[in-house]
C-alpha cells in the first residue's frame, strides 16, 4: 500500500570535487544558478569532480529493514546524508514520509557544549517531539544509554562511545517512523551492540522502517529483509539477503588472496612511498605493523584511518577500528614523514586473513590511501578468543 511507503529515492546522484578551492568556486556557481532557476548541467561532471552517488533508486516501506553494504568509499554515508536532508542531491528526488532519526556520525547531531540532558530535549524538539514525550521516555533513554551519572555533564566530556550510546537511546525511544543507522555502533562494546540490535528488532515490529549500514555480514543476515549493495556510487538491490551478502564478499575475492592490492597510494599532492610491511605468515596472537612513508606538498589536518581485519573463519569482519574510535587525532603535515600503525594480538587460528588500511582526508571527502594485504595464520591453536585487538596510531614524524 502507498500509505506504507516511507522513503522513495528516484535516480539520486551526488558529486564532489577533489580540490577544495575548485569545490568552493563550484558551490558559488551552483548557488547562483539555483537562485535564478538554472540547472546548468548539474547532472554532468566538471573538472576534478567525481560521482559519490550515481543514479540510485529504491524504496523503504513500513516495518522493513534494508541492509546497506559496500566497500569503504562506495557512497553509503553520502546516500544516508541525502536521505536525512543534510546535503542536497545534484540530480534525482528524495521523498520522505514520517519522522526520521539518523545516526550517521559519532557526534549523533548533538551540541558538544550542552549537557546530555539538554541534548536529549533539544534533539527531540528538532524532530517535532514535545517535552512531555521526552519526560515520558526520559528514564528509559538514560537507562538504555548507561550514562546516568554523566547525564548532566557537557557532551564534549563524553567519549565517542558514550555519545553514540546516548544518540541511539534517543533515536530508539522516541519511536521514529524511519531510522538510519550508519556504522557508528561499531564503537560500542559487545553488550551495547547487542542491546541496540535487539532494539532494532523491536522497532521493526512496531513498523519503523530502518536502513542499517554495517560491515558485519552476520548482522546483515540476521536483521535485514533486503540488501542494497553499493560500489563506486552505484546501487544493486537484492531481495535475497544471502545473495546480497555473497555479492559483497565477491568484491574482495576478485583479485585472489595472494597478491597485495593497491587501490590508491596518493594523489597529485601526496604520495605514500617505501611502505614497510611485516612478514606475511603469522602465528595466532601475533601483531601486525605497517609504516607509511609519505611526501606531501600540502597539510592534511585531522585525517581518518580505517583498519579492517577479515578472516576466512568468519562471515563478517574480525575487527574494525578508526583513529576516531580511539579519540586519536592525526594530522599529516606537509613535507616528508611517516605514519605508523600497529595492530596487536590478532587471535585468528589456522586461517587466511586480509588486513585493510585506508587513509581519508577530513570528513572522508577524499581517499588518499587504500591497501589490501593478505596474510596467513597457522601452525598452532591460540587458547584465547577472538577480537582481543588493540590498534596504535602513531602521529607522523
Q: Does CATH number 2.60.120.260 belong to domain 261-394?
A: no
The residue among 234 and 171 whose pLDDT is bigger is: 234
pLDDT above 80 for 190: no
What percent of the chain lies above the pLDDT cut of 70?
Answer: 84
Overall average pLDDT of the 192-204 stretch: 81
pLDDT above 80 for 137: yes
Q: Which helix (H) or strand (E) holds 76?
A: helix 76-83
Q: Rounded distance, CA 30 to CA 39, Å?
A: 8
The residue extents of the domains of the chain are 2-251, 261-394
Do the domains 2-251 and 261-394 sit in the same CATH topology, yes or no? no
Q: What CATH superfamily is the domain 2-251?
A: P-loop containing nucleotide triphosphate hydrolases (3.40.50.300)
Overall average pLDDT of the 161-168 stretch: 82
**What is the average pLDDT score of the chain?**
81
Q: Roughly how many angstroms between the first and final C-alpha of the chain, as a whole number? A: 60
209 pLDDT tier (thresholds 50, 70, 90) = very high
Helix (H, G, I), strand (E, B) or coil at 243: helix
Encode pLDDT of 297-345 as tens digits: 999 999 988 888 887 767 667 788 888 878 888 899 999 888 888 887 7
What percent of the chain lies above the pLDDT cut of 90?
Answer: 21
Q: Rounded distance, CA 173 to CA 169, Å?
A: 6
382 pLDDT tier (thresholds 50, 70, 90) = very low
Q: Rounded distance, CA 184 to CA 45, Å?
A: 31
Amino acid at each position: 500500500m502507498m500509505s506504507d511507503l516511507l522513503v522513495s529515492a528516484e535516480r539520486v546522484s551526488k558529486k564532489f570535487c577533489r580540490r577544495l578551492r575548485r569545490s568552493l568556486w563550484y558551490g558559488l556557481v551552483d548557488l547562483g544558478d539555483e537562485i535564478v532557476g538554472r540547472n546548468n548541467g548539474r547532472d554532468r561532471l566538471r573538472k576534478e569532480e567525481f560521482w559519490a552517488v550515481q543514479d540510485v533508486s529504491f524504496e523503504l516501506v513500513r516495518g522493513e529493514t534494508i541492509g546497506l553494504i559496500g566497500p569503504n568509499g562506495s557512497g553509503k554515508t553520502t546516500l544516508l546524508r541525502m536521505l536525512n536532508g543534510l546535503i542536497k542531491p545534484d540530480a534525482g528526488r528524495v521523498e520522505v514520509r514520517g519522522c526520521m532519526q539518523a545516526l550517521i556520525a559519532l557526534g549523533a547531531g548533538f551540541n558538544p557544549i550542552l549537557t546530555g540532558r539538554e541534548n536529549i530535549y533539544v534533539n527531540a524538539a528538532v524532530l517535532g517531539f514535545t517535552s512531555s514525550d521526552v519526560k515520558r521516555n526520559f528514564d528509559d533513554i538514560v537507562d538504555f544509554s548507561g550514562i546516568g551519572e554523566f547525564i548532566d555533564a557537557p557532551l564534549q566530556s563524553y567519549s565517542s562511545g558514550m555519545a553514540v550510546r546516548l544518540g541511539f537511546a534517543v533515536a530508539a525511544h522516541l519511536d521514529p517512523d524511519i531510522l538510519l543507522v550508519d556504522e557508528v555502533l561499531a564503537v560500542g562494546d559487545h553488550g551495547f551492540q547487542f542491546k541496540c540490535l535487539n532494539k532494532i528488532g523491536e522497532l521493526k515490529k512496531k513498523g519503523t522502517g530502518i536502513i542499517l549500514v554495517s560491515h558485519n555480514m552476520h548482522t546483515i543476515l540476521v536483521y535485514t529483509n533486503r540488501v542494497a549493495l553499493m560500489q563506486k556510487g552505484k546501487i544493486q538491490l537484492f531481495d535475497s539477503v544471502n545473495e546480497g551478502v555473497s555479492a559483497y564478499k565477491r568484491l574482495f575475492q576478485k583479485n585472489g588472496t595472494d597478491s597485495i592490492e593497491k587501490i590508491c597510494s596518493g594523489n597529485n599532492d601526496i604520495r605514500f612511498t617505501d611502505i614497510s610491511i611485516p612478514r606475511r605468515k603469522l602465528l595466532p596472537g601475533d601483531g601486525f605493523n605497517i609504516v607509511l612513508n609519505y611526501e606531501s606538498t600540502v597539510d592534511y589536518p585531522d585525517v581518518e584511518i580505517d583498519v579492517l581485519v577479515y578472516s576466512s573463519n568468519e562471515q563478517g569482519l574480525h575487527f574494525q577500528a578508526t583513529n576516531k574510535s580511539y579519540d586519536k587525532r592525526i594530522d599529516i603535515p606537509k613535507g616528508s614523514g611517516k605514519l605508523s600503525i600497529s595492530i596487536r594480538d590478532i587471535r585468528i587460528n589456522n586461517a587466511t586473513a586480509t588486513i585493510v588500511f585506508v587513509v581519508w582526508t577530513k570528513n572522508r571527502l577524499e581517499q588518499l590511501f587504500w591497501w589490501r594485504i593478505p596474510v596467513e595464520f597457522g601452525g598452532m591453536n591460540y587458547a584465547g578468543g577472538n577480537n582481543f585487538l588493540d590498534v596504535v596510531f602513531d602521529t607522523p614524524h
